[in-house]
Structure 1
Amino acid sequence: MALGYTSLWGGDPQDLSAEEVIGAWRQLLPGFDATQHLTGPIVASVGDDGASCATTVRDYHTVIEDGRTSVWMVAGRYRTSLVRSSDGWRIDGITLTVSHESGGSGAGRGDAEAGGCRRRGTDAF
């Protein structure tokens, strides 16, 4: 699967298996006390062998530490490509285009240091 978070982290899109994507997210998300991802509406275009879905997104990532709350917010647009297989539809790619970010990605902690990726370069996504 092509995973493109370059507008957030820099670097180049990566080609990862579904298991690698899930593993990266499992490493990123425990660094936050709460997350909320708001999407919609979803606009889909379907062809014979594939489909494309686009949606706006606003993600909140919260850390509470020493009585202080820090929130990292990312807003933008997701484009997801899908392919039709013998097992049904499968995600083939996800691209995030960031339009606004506030609060700083340094909100994460632990395995999700600096929001999970920024200090580690582009290897995680």
Structure 2
Amino acid sequence: MKRFLIICFLGVISMAGQASTITKDEAIIRSNLYSFSALADQGAFEYLGRLFAPKLTVDYSALFGGAPESVARETLMKNWANFLPGFDTTFHEAGQIRLSINGDQADAAMDFTASHWLGEQGFWQVAGTYQFTLEKAADNWEITSVKLTNPTEMGSREILGQAPLKAAENLKQRHHNKVNFE
């Protein structure tokens, strides 16, 4: 029993030491990147947009072809708002973040799985790695580029064309369910 307690005590000390190694900047970046997934799934585009620089580069060419695109964050949010809420449910599962900070610049990689459901049989899933670049902006870190790499897919892309047809109505319904606390 004594040995067990010593092992538990050493484990707690070890975890406490690891927890204190994160800096404030690392915490902000990690919070923003994990929020990236959750806010998209919740359709909270007005909050999701604040995670991005006013102008950023988006690169989904590994999945859909084409070339990287420079876009205003308002345009990106409008595009996502016209698409993602059209699914019955989405779940963007974020994995561990690998992070490197150099002054006011940061690079991060995060493995993810994004699942999309529509109707009884509609399902499409993409997994891969998001590579982010971020820049410090006052007391925040903004995403200046996001690139999807190493994608794998399951299900059918056919539902991607159907989702925009329901997006506006579904987003409107979600807005009705917001809690107003003011």
TM-score w.r.t. the length of structure 1 is 0.81
The structure with higher relative contact order (CA 8 Å, sep 6+) is 1
- 2:45 is equivalent to residue 45 of structure 1: no
Query: In terms of Rg, which structure is larger?
Result: 2
Aligned pair 1:111/2:164, yes or no? yes
2:109 to 45, 54, 59: 54
1:5 maps to which residue? 60
- CA offset at residue 24 of structure 1? 1.0
Q: Say which structure is richer in strand.
A: 1
Aligned positions, number: 110
**d(CA) in 1 for partners of 2:106 and 2:112?**
19
**Secondary structure, in 3 states, of the residue corresponding to 1:8?**
helix
Structure 2 residue ranges without an equivalent (≥5) = 1-55, 167-182
| Percent identity of paired positions between Structure 1 and Structure 2 | 31
How far has the Cα of 1:85 moved from its partner? 2.2
Q: Whose helix fraction is larger, Structure 1's or Structure 2's?
A: 2
Could you say what the CA RMSD is over the residues aligned between the two structures, in angstroms?
1.6
TM-score by length of 2: 0.57
Secondary structure (helix, strand or coil) at the match of 1:12 reads coil
After TM superposition, the runs of 4+ consecutive aligned structure 1 residues lying more than 4 A away are: none
User: Is 1:94 aligned to residue 146 of structure 2?
Assistant: yes
Please give the alpha-carbon distance, in whole angstroms, between the structure 2 residues aligned to 1:97 and 1:18.
21
CA contact (8 A) 2:84 2:163 kept: no
